[in-house]
């Protein structure tokens, strides 16, 4: 049956980019088929996106149901993330699907649905319990390490596993690594398997407790854990490598990173930038810490954040500091 539904009309060449964005933000109506004509894609949406997306127009159209099955039909497994034994649904997923997910995947024990975006200094989000055991914690394996995850209290994204492994591979024996935004220690633990010394900082007390448990779980002893603000908490440290994993606002922390990094040392930082601004990203870093000079080793798009806007990873060598 065809149903009128609001949709976003997008030029075909921008279709995939906008589809992913709407999906990430829980705005795409995945129950309805996407229509296309020669020039445009018609993306069915649940509500109007909060930010204007250039070169798109909101209208109404006729859409067919994508899944004509009963309302309790679970979304395809590829449509939701899992962390350990927890399935994480997006806000647009139907709550009726939760029971069917557990029946179909006996290894999953909990189904949660996000109630809002990741927000605040500690980068956490709200979760609604839909089915299974009543908990927000689980065990999760990544790149040969085992981690405790607490979705209610500490930031975690399974989508950054590749990025964490990429950084860990670069760590050399003998190095001192400073992780200024360590969270539950998912990057810290992987770096600590190779470094001589790691200092890990986070301002969220629950992250620090979780990080300590994750260090014990992975039998790592060469890590010093500090609760506090990344700007002030590790000024006594001289590091060969600094991890600055705060993509939503890295620049205020660049001076602290440059202070602790010895000349020749490497900074791994992240930024959220429109595609056109990515080439200038290293200049933003230099501008945030006057008197510093950096050599760009690598620039990588980690994931899409908004239309033509990406979370970008920067690997920079500190060439000169005041
Ligand atoms: C994007 S998460 C990084 C998580 C971690 N690197 C990982 O791999 O999961 C950012 C972290 O920075 C912490 N944070 C936010 N502001 C901070 C500050 N001023 N100083 C230190 N940590 C801070 C948050 O608590 C959060 O754990």
* CA–CA distances in Å: residue 248 to residues 33, 98, 155, 235, 255: 33, 32, 13, 22, 17
Pocket test for ligand 1, best of 159, 188, 202 (most atoms within 8 A of CB): 202
* Nearest 10 degrees: Cα torsion 41, 47, 53, 57: 50
Q: Over range 191-206, report the average pLDDT.
A: 97
Structural domains of the chain, with CATH: 2-64 (3.30.70.2580), 77-135 (3.30.300.110), 157-320 (3.40.50.150)
Decide: helix, strand or coil at residue 317. strand
Of 26 and 263, the structure prediction assigns the larger pLDDT to 263
Only one residue has tokens 């921008």, namely 14
In the prediction, which pLDDT does 72 show? 57
Q: How far is the CA of 178 from the centre of ligand 1 (A)?
A: 13
**Which residue(s) pair with 317 in the sheet?**
266, 295
Percent of the chain with pLDDT over 90: 66
**Bridge-partner residues for 141, per DSSP?**
146
Task: Give the closest residue (by CA) to ligand 1 atom 16.
Answer: 121
CA 107 – CA 155 distance, rounded (Å)? 23
155 lines ligand 1 (CB under 6 A): yes
Q: So what's the pLDDT on residue 170?
A: 97
Compute the CA torsion angle 119, 123, 128, 130 (nearest 10 deg). 130
10 versus 26: which is more confidently predicted? 10
41-44 long-range contacts, CB within 8 A, separation 24+ = 41/9, 41/10, 41/11, 41/12, 41/15, 42/7, 42/8, 42/9, 42/10, 43/7, 43/8, 43/9, 43/10, 43/15, 43/18, 43/19, 44/5, 44/6, 44/7
DSSP assigned state of 48: -
Instruction: Check pocket membership of 233 for ligand 1, CB cut-off 6 A.
Output: no
CA nearest ligand 1 atom 17, residue: 203
The string of pLDDT tens digits covering residues 121-176 is: 999 999 999 999 999 999 999 999 999 999 999 999 988 999 999 999 999 999 99
Residue 156 CA: nearest ligand 1 atom is: 9
Mean pLDDT of 189-217: 97
Query: For 223-274, what is each residue's pLDDT tens digit?
Result: 999 999 999 999 999 999 999 999 999 999 999 999 999 999 999 999 999 9
Pairing of strands 145-150, 176-179: unpaired
Is ligand 1 within 6 A of the CB of residue 253? no
pLDDT over 70 for what percent of the chain?
92
User: What is the reported pLDDT for 76?
Assistant: 61
Distance CA 21, CA 29 (A): 12
Pocket test for ligand 1, best of 124, 143, 183, 228 (most atoms within 8 A of CB): 183
Cα 65 to chain centroid, rounded: 31
Say how many Å lie between the CA of residue 224 and the centre of ligand 1: 16
pLDDT tens-digit series, residues 55-103? 778 787 776 666 545 555 666 655 788 999 999 998 878 888 899 899 9
Range with the largest mean pLDDT of 36-50, 73-87, 111-125: 111-125
Task: Please compute Rg for the chain using Cα positions.
Answer: 22
State if residue 185 touches ligand 1 by the CB under 6 angstroms criterion: no
Instruction: Establish whether residue 312 lines the binding site of ligand 1, counting it when its CB lies within 6 angstroms of any ligand atom.
Output: no
* Predicted pLDDT at 68: 47
Q: What pLDDT score was predicted for residue 70?
A: 55
- pTM for the whole thing? 0.80
pLDDT band at 23 (very low <50, low <70, confident <90, very high): confident
Query: Among 83, 184, 246, which residue has the most ligand 1 atoms within 8 Å of its CB, making it the best to mutate?
Result: 246
Strands (E) in 33-144, as ranges, are: 35-36, 40-44, 57-64, 81-83, 86-89, 110-114, 127-132, 137-142
Which residues are within 8 A (CB) of 78 and not within 5 positions of it... i.e. 6 or more apart?
A: none
**Which residue is it, tokens 């939760």?**
98
3-state SS class at 158: helix
């Amino acid at each position: 049956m065809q149903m009128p539904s609001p949709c976003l009309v997008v030029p075909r060449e921008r279709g995939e980019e906008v589809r992913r964005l709407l999906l990430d933000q829980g705005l795409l109506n995945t129950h309805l088929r996407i229509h296309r004509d020669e020039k445009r894609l018609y993306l069915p949406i649940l509500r109007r996106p909060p930010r204007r997306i250039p070169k798109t127009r909101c209208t109404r159209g006729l859409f067919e149901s994508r899944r004509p099955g009963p309302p309790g039909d679970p979304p395809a497994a590829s449509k939701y993330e899992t962390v350990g034994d927890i399935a994480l649904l997006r806000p647009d997923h139907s709550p009726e699907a939760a029971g069917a997910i557990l029946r179909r995947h006996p290894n999953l024990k909990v189904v949660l649905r996000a109630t809002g975006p990741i927000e605040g200094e500690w980068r956490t989000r709200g979760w609604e319990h839909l089915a299974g055991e009543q908990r927000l914690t689980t065990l999760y394996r990544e790149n040969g390490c085992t981690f405790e995850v607490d979705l209610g209290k500490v930031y975690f994204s399974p989508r950054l596993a590749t990025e964490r492994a990429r950084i860990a591979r670069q760590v050399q024996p003998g190095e001192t690594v400073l992780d200024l935004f360590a969270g539950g220690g998912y990057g810290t633990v992987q770096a600590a398997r190779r470094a001589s010394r790691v200092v890990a900082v986070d301002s969220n007390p629950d992250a620090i407790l979780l990080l300590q448990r994750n260090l014990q779980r992975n039998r790592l002893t060469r890590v010093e854990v500090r609760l506090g603000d990344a700007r002030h908490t590790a000024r006594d440290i001289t590091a060969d490598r600094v991890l600055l994993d705060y993509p939503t606002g890295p620049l205020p922390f660049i001076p602290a990173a440059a202070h602790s990094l010895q000349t020749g040392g490497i900074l791994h930082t992240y930024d959220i930038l429109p595609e056109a601004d990515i080439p200038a990203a290293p200049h933003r870093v230099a501008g945030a810490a006057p008197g510093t000079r950096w050599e760009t080793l690598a620039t990588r798009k980690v994931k899409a954040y908004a239309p033509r806007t990406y979370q970008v990873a920067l690997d920079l060598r500190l060439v000169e500091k005041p």
